[in-house]
Structure 1
Amino acid sequence: IEDGTIIGGFGSAIAEFKSKYNYKNNVQILGIPDEFIEQGTVEELQRYSEINVKSLVSILSTY
């Protein structure tokens, strides 16, 4: 989970490492989508990007 863009972020580095060393476990990268987002409060932007607490609880409860 990162408070930055998904593309080119920390999650991308993890995915590259995983690929290079043939790790088979699943990785789900969560962060801000690579698109223009309107201005808003931190809470609004986190909700939009689905990295707020409610969204994360929902996503992580599927594991």
Structure 2
Amino acid sequence: GALDKLEAFSSFNGPAFYGLPRNSGTLTLTREDWELPAELPYGDTTLVPLRAGETLRWKAS
């Protein structure tokens, strides 16, 4: 576990490196099993995500 380092990794380090402001929005991670879709709609086509069809343990909302 490095959950205590996730916020800096995902929110602070990139903007600091590139000299950009931090985003003001937030999201919530919930420990919940859910299946990643086999494909996602994208305009007039679809995208196949990495790990399509696999069950993930965390869900962002």
TM-score, L = length of structure 1: 0.27
- Judging by fraction of residues, say which structure has more helix: 1
Give 1 or 2 for the bigger CA radius of gyration. 2
- Judging by fraction of residues, say which structure has more strand: 2
